[in-house]
Chain A
């Protein structure tokens, strides 16, 4: 059974930093692209970032490019999202997700989410 467990969410002031982690199990982690998708309160879904299995490819939404960094540790089956210079509009529930397949960019498994609140 696939399991994705996020941690690291919390309350942070504007301009601050936070690092989310996602521990994965139940699938072949090191060949599977992993992504973060967020949902602001009362809003829809927004794809944030993705990293390939071999870490060679990382992509970001324009809204976070230059401020967020995705990474992974295949020895620990864990993916990370380093979030710097946070803004109020980054307040959201951040879901860790996996691609269905390497060549199919749909998100077939989701964690329960990590809540990030950016407020003074």
Chain B
């Protein structure tokens, strides 16, 4: 099983600031990495897949990069609706595994 590790566990930022979230895989997942956004009381929302492809309707301020074992989700300028928990998921090898999440909170 591929273990996904996210850092930091939490990030305290102000609206308008840039957020950089990291995700590391225990072995290479090539470019098969997705990101989800999770808010209380709502189901998770797919943001990005195959490292950098934005899902339908996802704003351009969300971008993904990386390959192999190291990946990054960048939110260029945080909006109020972006404060949430973000999960990475590898879709390279079954069983599909998620990271433990990074909480982006308002400073």
Contact = CB atoms under 8 A, between A and B. Distances in A.
B94 A104 contact: no
Interface residues of A, number: 20
B64 interface: no
A105 B91 contact: yes
B46 A100 contact: yes
Contacts of B44: 37, 45, 95, 107, 110
Nearest to B43: A110
B98 A104 contact: no
Interface string B51-67: 00001100000000000
Contacts of B99: 44
> What class of interface size applies to chain B in its complex with A?
20 to 34
B96 A47 contact: yes
B37 to A, nearest CB: 11
B101 A47 contact: no
Interface in A48-97: 50, 59, 61-62, 95
B43 A113 contact: yes
A111 B42 CA distance: 9
A62 B95 contact: yes
A112 interface: yes
Q: Nearest 3 CB-CB pairs, A to B?
A: A110-B43, A105-B91, A106-B34
Interface of A: 37, 44-47, 50, 59, 61-62, 95, 100, 104-108, 110-113
